[in-house]
Amino acid sequence: MFIKNLQLENFRNYTLETFDFSQGVNVLTGANAQGKTNAAEAIFFLCTGYSPRANKDKLVIKNGEERAKIRGVATSNYGDVSVEIRFNKSDKKDIFINEIEVLKIGELLGNIHSVFFNPSELKLVQEAPEDRRRFLNISLSQKSKSYFYALQRYNKILSQRNNLLKEPDTYLIQETLPIWDEQLVKEASKIIKARNDFLVEIAPIAEEKHAFLSGGKEILKMKMESGYKGDELEIATFLKADLKANLQKDIRLGFTSIGPHRDDVKFILNGDDVKIFGSQGQQRTVALSVKLAEAESFKNKLGEYPILILDDVLSELDKPRQKKLISSVENMQTIFTATHIDRTVFKGKQFKQIVVENGKIKMVKE
Ligand SMILES: Nc1ncnc2c1ncn2[C@@H]1O[C@H](COP(=O)(O)OP(=O)(O)O)[C@@H](O)[C@H]1O
Ligand SMILES: [Mg+2]
């Protein structure tokens, strides 16, 4: 899959600009704060309906303007698809696929796929389990609508269950809870199974990517920390029993203490927990390896690679790792952003350079 063009209208620091991308490697260059990440962000928006910068939607509207628009045309195995998102000050966005409005994010997902990586994605390795669950959710939701809808239902049921746990009338809790738990377990087991499968799939690929990027010096192991294994039915049985066993504790806490909302992923490098013992450089390589493995998982599941967006990643790697990274993205459309192009790193490689300056395309070189 590749994105052919991207049109930005009053989006962040752009007034009106159209990017034409090559099917291979694209490098957006320019000094700091010129609009490179803004363009990368716009592509991710078209895929998922939300910003990787996690701001409020209306903040993307160019200062002083009333509305903004992003539009892109991508080509997949199934032909061309156009996605357009219109933003307005009320913070509600309108989404159009092939000119037809869709009312749910679920309908946007799966039209254009991408894997996004930038320096703040280091939180995938460094920070709270929530960041790792977000990674799992975004990746799985792009590939499977049924995962996305199961997650939506799960979150809704979970918050209703948590409200019930705070209820002073314990009799009411005992009476009503089994009904919630039945539904909760149904969605939870789908989510856990999909995450387990995903991890089993990407762990060996990420481990291989990491060995490659680190020149074979480091051995990565990654695994899911959910504690539930087996098929959906087995997961459901164990989870149900655990919910029952934890009921008094949950009532005391006023929230549900077990379930997929507590899942985590562990990264082990040369035997040690990367989160605690890894250097910045090692953590960065782990996060990048996981993202490259994620790209492979799209290929495995959907038969084609996603658009790989690597924002500000090159500058953070040493030259040997930069070269290795560039050689490992040759089979998919890649959009790099960088302040400049190091000719020694790109030597012998074909790429399209798009220079941006102050929200405008200043120059294009192929
Ligand atoms: N809503 C907005 N309206 C106008 N300018 C914006 C808006 N949001 C961000 N910007 C500007 O975009 C610039 C940052 O662009 P960015 O793409 O992050 O830069 P870089 O080229 O370094 O990646 C900043 O100058 C910022 O002020
Ligand atoms: Mg940037």
Q: How many CA atoms lie within 13 A of 21 on its CB side?
A: 28
Give the full edge-to-edge strand order of the sheet including 16-20.
16-20, 2-9, 67-76, 79-88, 93-97, 100-102
For the Cβ of 35 lying below 6 angstroms from any atom of ligand 1, the answer is: yes
What domains can you pick out in the chain, each with its CATH number?
1-113+306-366 (3.40.50.300), 123-304 (1.20.1050.90)
Ligand 1 atom closest to Cα of 312? 23
Specify the residue with its C-alpha closest to ligand 1, atom 18: 37
In this prediction, the residues of the chain whose per-residue pLDDT falls under 50 are: none
Q: Partners of 352 in the beta sheet?
A: 26
For the Cβ of 334 lying below 6 angstroms from any atom of ligand 1, the answer is: no
For the Cβ of 31 lying below 6 angstroms from any atom of ligand 1, the answer is: no
Q: Residue 366 burial by CB count (10 A; 0-12/13-18/19+): exposed, middle or buried?
A: exposed
Q: Is 271 helix (H, G, I), strand (E, B) or coil?
A: coil
Considering the entire predicted model, what is its pTM?
0.92
First-to-final CA distance of the chain: 20
* Residue whose C-alpha is closest to residue 309's, from 9, 58, 38, 70: 38
